[in-house]
Amino acid sequence: MTVLVLGGAGYIGSHAVDQLIDQQYDVAVVDNLQTGHQGAVHKKARFYQGDIRDKIFMESIFEKESIEGVMHFAANSLVGESMQQPLQYFNNNVYGTQVTLEVMQKFAVKSIVFSSSAATYGEPKEVPIKETADTNPESPYGETKLMMEKILKWCDKAYDMKFVALRYFNVAGAKLDGSIGEDHSPESHLVPLILQTALGQRNELTIFGDDYATPDGTCIRDYVHVVDLVEAHILALEYLKAGNQSTVFNLGSSTGFSVKQMLDTAREVTGREIPATVTARRAGDPSTLIASSEKAKTILNWKPQYTDIKDIIASAWNWHKNSPHGYTDTHN
Ligand code: UFG
C-alpha cells in the first residue's frame, strides 16, 4: 500500500515516514522544504519537492503514484507566528488542505490521517481534556486546524472521504537511535531549547512566567513521545482501511509536567547545569493542558511505550548531542 506523506521532511512527518517504511509500507513524500529537511527523509521514500497548494504539482504526484492513503503534516505550526501572520496560516494550512482534498477527490483516494492540535480547544474548562470538550481556539493556528477538521467533516458527508484527526498535545523526543530528531529554525519549543542550552548553544533558558496557578507556578503540559505519536497515525490508517467511521482522537500521555520539572529532569538526564531565568508570561499560554487519551487507547488500541518523561528527554538528548547543528551537520 502506498501512503502519501505530506510534510514528510518535517519533525513529526519524517518520523512517520521512517516508521511506515519500517512497517513495510510504500511511501511517497511531498514537502516544500520551507521548514523541513530533505536529509530527514528516509532514503527508501520517494521524495517530491513541491507545495500542496500547487494543484498541478499535486495532480502529477497522484498520477505517478498509486496512493491509497494520505497522512497530512504539511502546515505552519507556530502559535505566536500565527498571531502576527494570520493570512499566511489560513493560506498555507486551510487552502493547502482544500487543494489536497480536491486532488484526493479527483483520484478517488478516500482515507486521510490529519495532524490536528490541542490548540483547537483553547483555554480548557476541564482537565484532562476530552475530545467532546468545546473548541474555542485562541490563535489563528488553532483556528486553521479546526477549520481543516470541519472541511474534512463535510468532505466525508459529500464524498464519503474518511478521516481521522489527531489532536496532538506537546510532541517531543526523537527516534531512539538518534538518526532523526527535532530541528526548527528558529526554535521555539521547550525541549529543544532546554537541550540547546545544555549544549552551550544558548546562555540560558527563559522560563515564561512562574506565577501560574500550578504547584510550582510554571505552566504544565502533556508531553508525548514522537515515536508513540506516530504509531497512533499508523493505527489510524489501519482503522480507516478497516472501513471505520471518521473521528477525532487526542494524543497525549495523560500526565502533566511543569516547565521547572522538565528543566530539572533535563539536568538529571544530561548531567549539565542548564542555567535558567524567569521572565514574564508569554502571551496566550494556558496554565495547564493535559489530554485524556482514553479514546485512542480504547478504539485504536494505542499503547504508548515511552510515557516516562526521562525517556522522552533522553531520546531528544541523543539526537541533539549527535547533531548539535541539526541537519546541517550531515545533510541540508
Ligand atoms: N516555555 C518556556 N520557555 C521557552 C519555551 C517554552 O517557559 O523558551 C514554556 C511555554 O510557556 C509553555 C511550555 O514551555 O508553557 C511549552 O511550550 P512550547 O512552545 O514547547 O509548546 P506549547 O505548549 O506552546 O505549544 C505546543 C505546540 C503547538 C500546539 C500546542 C498545543 O508547539 O503547536 O502545543 O497544546 F499548538
CA of 219 to the centre of ligand 1 (A): 9
Instruction: With H, G, I as helix, E, B as strand and everything else as coil, classify residue 223.
Output: strand
Going by C-alpha positions, the residue among 24, 34, 23, 22 that lies closest to residue 6 is 34
pLDDT of residue 208: 98
141 is catalytic: yes
Which ligand 1 atom minimizes the distance to the CA of 189? 20
Taking residue 160's Cβ as centre, other Cβ atoms within 10 Å add up to: 10
Cis amide bond preceding 186, omega within 30? yes
Going by C-alpha positions, the residue among 141, 140, 315 that lies closest to residue 226 is 315
Q: Is the CB of 156 under 6 A from ligand 1?
A: no
Q: Is the CB of 194 under 6 A from ligand 1?
A: no
Distance CA 180, CA 326 (A): 9
pLDDT of residue 329: 47
Pocket-testing residue among 221, 257, 260, 288, ligand 1, by greatest number of atoms within 8 A of Cβ: 221
**CATH for 2-172+223-251, among 3.30.390.50, 3.40.190.10, 3.40.50.720, 1.20.1420.30?**
3.40.50.720
Q: Is the CB of 282 under 6 A from ligand 1?
A: yes
Domain 190-221+254-329 in CATH 3.90.25.10? The answer is yes
User: What pTM was estimated for this model as a whole?
Assistant: 0.97
Q: Is the CB of 189 under 6 A from ligand 1?
A: yes
pLDDT of residue 101: 98
CA of 226 to the centre of ligand 1 (A): 15
Q: Is the CB of 187 under 6 A from ligand 1?
A: no
pLDDT of residue 332: 40
229 contacts: CB under 8 Å, gap ≥ 6? 12, 15, 166, 168, 171, 251
- Ordered mean pLDDT values, 10 residues apiece, the chain (332 residues): 97 98 98 97 98 98 98 96 96 98 98 98 94 96 98 98 98 97 95 98 98 97 98 98 98 96 98 98 92 98 96 98 83 42
pLDDT of residue 60: 98
Would you kindly state where each structural domain of the chain is located, as residue ranges? 2-172+223-251, 190-221+254-329
Chain-centre distance of CA 215, in angstroms?
Answer: 28
Asked if 145 and 116 count as a contact pair (C-beta separation under 8 A), the reply is yes
CA 113 vs CA 16, 117, 201, 239, 256: distances in Å: 11, 13, 36, 10, 26
Conformation bin of residue 214: beta by default, left when phi > 0, alpha when psi is -120 to 50: beta
Query: What is the complex's ipTM, to 2 decimals?
Result: 0.96
First to last CA, the chain: 29
Strand order in the sheet with 288-289: 257-258, 220-221, 288-289
235 contacts: CB under 8 Å, gap ≥ 6? 300, 301, 302
